[in-house]
Structure 1
């Protein structure tokens, strides 16, 4: 699949196909005697999701959609949230709005996945749930008449070639779901301008980099390949992904493999907690001292949503990576 220019995603009519992001507006017709684009059906993770009206009671099971909802001015539609929402992601106004939203639970399993019961979510009477979790599937919610929308990159099939255009595409999809297309267009234009300003010019002496998710306390280290948003972020920042030959989103990597790839720069993702813990998790790996990035101190802890999935926070992530390592 060829990478599309960002500007190619501006809406040109009432039906817009967003094939690369996996979330497609397949029907957009005004109901007789109604207003707006409803009923509206979108395809998400291979399932049709229909809205009779703009959602008014939204439950968040993941934090990824927050920047888009804030940009559209619909964060006040969120009536409950679950999971972790690190303060660093948000400006003061967004954080103040989030603090007003009741928190259902922050409980997670040993791998960091949210644990929330069906009953707790259904009790909120949501007309939209954003983010799918392992023990509360789309099918379970559909049986209760509750639609779910997941970030396309987090669907089982993922994205074949993630990029900043997917940030714009998903933002514009939320704009249609909430009947905020003008706000989505304005926010998308601003994001496009920021990405253009932050994208490094080609250089012959680009450094190499890897984006990792280390397991704190010992265990598996994960790396990100070309099906992750990490790849275009590195490219835009003027860095070459040492795993550019890996056609996967995320995968296990051994210390030996990491030493062999010998990246000049390491970006270390974490979801919460002490950022220095992920640095220690990598620097204490067998042979880590021989990796150029470790030897030269070129390690950057970064909160997960600054890289994955493609949301407006990925543009903030690019800005941070470019500020630290870019030319």
Structure 2
């Protein structure tokens, strides 16, 4: 049995000092990661509104999520969040709520007496001042996911639930890594992760070395053909094709901000474009579909690790 939270609780979160005098009663989430962690901690009754969705909610939370207002599929307005009268806003990405957040800055919420908490996975080992999706200054680790779960559990005084969730995710992570270690994979196995593109045919957003996909590849002994430290750099298809990854992982999502958000459009492009259709991964049908949310630094990254290990076990590299 974990110790109860001793309020007032003070934390430094993504460089900002925050204090809680009691467990939050009303929360709005800006980001699917924060939403699903709160649901996993048994805190759905505290969530009064959600936003920024890439994929359907985890199946075990479908019923409870259906009863909670979705303020926006993508970026909510500052007014829409404030109108729910939350005492805490939990955030997945600093580019939504941060120094130059497109929803608001943290100060704007704090001036209204509304606390904010940004998931550490988006700021630990990461510089978000570089624009876009930010740049990793060191490799992403699932420790930042576990840190976020543990701190939210402490904020809401549900430490036992936090410890149980971390233990479950850690077990799944270790099991997937062990499974991959027993596969007969080529020593020089390479891959690329394609999240989306602003339009089909233009340079795609592919995973850099140090983000969540980089973590998956490192744990499974795969070389990332994209050498950038940016979270999601744009790299021309000619460059990707020249590197010729053995495996191509493509994101599946409900979001339709860009044409290439649609996984069917991704597949059609890969098989029809004169450059991409000559890639080994395409010609040999070594294309893996992965939940887009798993490609971000979230607890679903561990599910992505599992699904990639499973997909590799069914592939032939001869």
TM superposition shift of 1:61: 1.5
**What does residue 259 of structure 2 align with?**
none
Aligned equivalent of 1:163, options 130, 136, 141: 141
TM superposition shift of 1:220: 3.5
**What does residue 69 of structure 2 align with?**
102
CA separation of 1:269 and 1:204: change in aligned 2, threshold 3 A: closer
**What does residue 318 of structure 1 align with?**
305
Aligned equivalent of 2:289, options 298, 301, 308: 301
**What does residue 36 of structure 1 align with?**
5
Tell me, yes or no, if the aligned pair for 2:10 and 2:18 is still in contact at 8 Å: yes
Aligned equivalent of 2:204, options 221, 226, 236: 221
**What does residue 131 of structure 2 align with?**
none
Aligned equivalent of 1:174, options 136, 147, 152: 152
Where in structure 2 are the equivalents of 1:1-327 lying within 5 Å? 36-84=5-53, 86-87=55-56, 89-92=57-60, 94-106=61-73, 108=74, 114=75, 116-131=76-91, 132=94, 133=96, 134-155=102-123, 157=127, 160-199=138-177, 200-201=180-181, 205-206=186-187, 207-215=189-197, 217-218=199-200, 219-243=202-226, 245-272=227-254, 274-285=262-273, 287-309=275-297, 311-326=298-313
**CA offsets 1:182-213 (integer angstroms, 9 cap, x no match):** 21112111211111111021767242111122
Tell me, yes or no, if the aligned pair for 2:52 and 2:72 is still in contact at 8 Å: yes
- SS of the equivalent of 1:64 reads helix
TM superposition shift of 1:84: 2.2
Unmatched 5+ stretches in structure 2: 97-101, 129-135, 256-261
More off after superposition, 156-165 vs 194-203: 156-165
- SS of the equivalent of 1:306 reads helix
Tell me, yes or no, if the aligned pair for 1:214 and 1:282 is still in contact at 8 Å: no
CA distance in 2, matches of 1:284, 1:147: 49
CA distance in 1, matches of 2:153, 2:209: 28
TM-score, with length taken from structure 1: 0.79
Aligned length: 284
More off after superposition, 191-200 vs 265-274: 265-274
TM superposition shift of 1:85: 5.7
CA distance in 2, matches of 1:320, 1:97: 26
More off after superposition, 39-48 vs 201-210: 201-210
CA distance in 2, matches of 1:36, 1:45: 21
